Amino acid sequence: MTRRRVLRALGLALLLLLAWLGSGYIGAQRACAHDPRFACSPRDTARAIRITDPTKSWAFYGRLAPGQHDRYRFTLQRAATVPWNLLIEKTDAANSARPVAILTSDSGAVLARATLAHEQSFYEPFSRIKYLSSPPVSLHLAPGKYRIEVVMHGPGSPQRYVMAIGSQERFGLWEIPYVLGAIHRIRTRGW
């Protein structure tokens, strides 16, 4: 009899967990947020962060000292228009170090830059954080390989940054626990 109760309790717990994950999955399909990832800065060319699908909405969180770099890479199989910008938290505005991002083709040609020279205020409701943002850039890219380098310029101490790329808001079922943990990390300023 006790074994039967334990199995029922486990079955009910599993059913509730699946219902919770399922509701999170459905809600995440309508999400208005980037998929957060952490750069573990600095990142050199040999350890460049691979952006698996630049059309998906991503937010890469990094922290660099002036002169340090983070490098990213991605490949497009077909032409795409991809939004791209840089952000810093408004609470970090007193730090004079500022990120600059440079997009290059596989041949090394500079295609675009993102800077905070003409910063705009931006409130991100998913994390409930106020940011200073570069003007958004729409990258019209042909199929090919691309690299992005984020470098911290200016005097100042290490500065946190966010590089946002892509626009398709979608999360997979198995990404939901990671995203929930990442949101907690972002809100507690642990990146």
Tell me the C-alpha distance between 36 and 30, whole Å.
Answer: 16
Q: Name which of 103-117, 129-143, 168-182 the model is least confident about.
A: 168-182
The C-alpha atoms of residue 128 and residue 119 are separated, in whole angstroms, by 19
Kindly report, residue by residue over 55-98, the tens digit of the pLDDT: 988 888 898 999 999 999 999 999 999 999 999 989 989 999 99
Computed on alpha carbons and rounded to an integer, the radius of gyration of the chain in Å comes to 19
Same domain, 180 and 113: yes
Q: How many domains does the chain have?
A: 2
CA distance 69 to 100: 10
Q: Identify whether residues 109 and 144 lie together within a single domain.
A: yes
Distances (CA, A) of 42 to 34, 35, 97: 21, 20, 15
Q: Are residues 77 and 49 in the same domain?
A: yes
Quick one: 16 and 61 in the same domain? no
pLDDT at 171 over 60: no
pLDDT at 143: 97
Instruction: Give the closest residue to 146 by CA, choosing from 57, 50, 42.
Output: 50
Q: What is the maximum span of the chain, computed from C-alpha positions, in angstroms?
A: 72
* Residue 9 pLDDT grade (very low, low, confident, very high; cuts 50, 70, 90): confident
Residues 36 and 111 in one domain: yes
Domain hosting 24: range is: 1-30
In this structure, are 37 and 25 located in the same domain?
no
Tell whether 162 and 93 lie within a shared domain. yes
Rounded to whole angstroms, the Cα distance separating 163 from 155 reads: 20
Position 170 scores a pLDDT of 59
Question: Do 105 and 121 have their domain in common?
Answer: yes
142, 65: one domain: yes
Reading the block at residue 86, the tokens are 């840089």
Give, as one character, the DSSP assignment of residue 172.
-
d(CA 1, CA 48): 57
- Alpha-carbon distance of 42 to 61, in angstroms, equals 11
Q: How many other C-beta atoms lie within 10 A of the C-beta of residue 186?
A: 21
Residue 146 pairs in a beta bridge with 74, 105
The CATH number for 40's domain is 2.60.120.380
Q: How many CA atoms lie within 13 A of 79 on its CB side?
A: 2
The answer to whether 141 touches 50, Cβ cutoff 8 Å, is no
Instruction: Decide: 24 and 183 in contact? Cβ < 8 Å.
Output: no
- My answer on whether 18 and 64 are in the same domain is no
> Which residues, listed in sequence order, are joined to residue 50 by a DSSP beta bridge?
73
